[in-house]
Amino acid sequence: RKEVEQDPGPFNVPEGATVAFNCTYSNSASQSFFWYRQDCRKEPKLLMSVYSSGNEDGRFTAQLNRASQYISLLIRDSKLSDSATYLCVTRAAGNKLTFGGGTRVLVKP
């Protein structure tokens, strides 16, 4: 079993719609959680950290459920520019991050 699992998608989303997807992690010692965004054939970049109480950054909302060991990302009012692969990332002790395989989102006009 992969340590961090994601639905690879693609999630086809009409422009302006809301899309949400989850990520499950198996390491109960995971301490920190993040969402990264990766555009096609580009390097990943940090989108947002995920806090225990949930957090928003503009149109993006992240949630953490420690009991069920999953995190989620919700994108409201989707823009064409939101089309990308979203990588779920966890960190246990130390600075090593574990990446999921990514969820591909395609926003269409």
Task: Summarize as ranges the residues that interact with another protein (CB under 8 A).
Answer: 2, 4, 8, 31-34, 41-46, 49, 87, 89, 91, 95-102
Q: How far is residue 20's CA from residue 60's CA, in Å, rounded to a whole number?
A: 10
Q: How many CB atoms lie within 10 A of CB 100?
A: 23
User: From the CB of 6, what's the least distance to another protein, in Å?
Assistant: 8
Cβ(7)–Cβ(103) below 8 Å: yes
- Specify the residue for token string 């997807």: 21
User: From the CB of 87, what's the least distance to another protein, in Å?
Assistant: 7
- Closer residue to another protein in complex, CB, 5/72: 5
User: From the CB of 66, what's the least distance to another protein, in Å?
Assistant: 16
- Closer residue to another protein in complex, CB, 18/27: 27
Q: How far is residue 33's CA from residue 14's CA, in Å, rounded to a whole number?
A: 28
- Closer residue to another protein in complex, CB, 5/76: 5
Cβ(8)–Cβ(103) below 8 Å: yes
- Closer residue to another protein in complex, CB, 45/79: 45
